[in-house]
Amino acid sequence: MSVARETARPSPLGQLWALLFPTRCLGCGRRGAAVCGRCEAMIPWLNRETCHRCAAPSPLGRLCQRCKAAPTALDGLRAACTFDGIVRQAIHNLKYRQARSLAGLASSLLADSLVERPLQADLLVPVPLAAGRRRERGYNQAELIAACLSRSIDVPTAAAALERVRETPPQVGLSAPERRRNVRGAFACSAEALVAGRRVIVLDDVATTGATLAACADALKTAGAARVYGLVVARGS
């Protein structure tokens, strides 16, 4: 296994796609950027009044009651935005409409939020998709975002550090405890040499309760990671 900097150069099909369907602003539809200058004000940035462990709303950024009662293996969870408006649209298009170029937008949202509140890390690890879903989609959106972010914050990516060892039903509609049970033991890390003693950022597009990221953190800490932080583009509710 190697720590690779992946290139995000579009495939020939991707280039043809870009030619046929030029980037349009998610806010107003104008051609050009994924979010134009006029629509930047519509980005639903998450404010700082969030629990540093799970990114849920919490006055003055204090540790929330749920994290006090049931701590997880995650040392922290950061989200750039709320899962609303143009960010919700961007993630939807990135996941379900083959809009791979939106990984660049997602990465720049994360990079901007990290300028405000830096996270010290040695390694970026995207949350792996279930094999079947990855085959269907042709890519893992978290991996695309990690590849872009890796270049902009100069932290290497280890896309193969985590693997899904068990298929899990979708988390949608489940309560927080059900979500934790659903993903418990679903991930494994066999890259001890890569993660031991390291500070790792686990990256995903969206987190709701953080259960998936916590299950990833469990696997990474079992493999010896010193610290594990979750980083997501958007915090769902």
Binding site for Zn ion (CB under 5 A): 25, 27-28, 36, 39, 51, 53-54, 64, 67
The strand pair at 76-82 and 227-235 is best described as parallel
Phi, psi (degrees; rounded to nearest 5) at 194: -80, -40
Task: Name which of 36 and 127 has its Cβ closer to Zn ion.
Answer: 36
Please tell me the distance from the alpha carbon of residue 190 to that of residue 185, in angstroms, as a whole number. Answer: 14
Strands of the sheet with 76-82, listed across from one edge: 76-82, 227-235, 199-207, 123-126
164 versus 179: smaller Cβ distance to Zn ion: 179
Between strands 187-189 and 162-164, the pairing is antiparallel
Using the minimum distance from each CB to Zn ion, give the nearer residue, 64 or 114: 64
CB of 78 to Zn ion, least distance (A): 12
* Terminal Cα-to-Cα distance of the chain (whole angstroms): 36
Comparison of 55 and 158: residue with beta carbon closer to Zn ion: 55
Choose between 25 and 121: whose C-beta lies nearer to Zn ion: 25
Locate the DSSP E strands across 83-214. Answer: 123-126, 162-164, 187-189, 199-207
Q: In the complex, what is the shortest distance from the CB of residue 216 to Zn ion, in angstroms, rounded to a whole number?
A: 17
What are the φ and ψ backbone dihedral angles of 47, each rounded to 5 degrees?
-80, 175
CB of 167 to Zn ion, least distance (A): 28
For the CB of residue 43, give the shortest distance to Zn ion in the complex, in Å: 11
Q: Give the nearest distance from C-beta 104 to Zn ion in angstroms.
A: 16
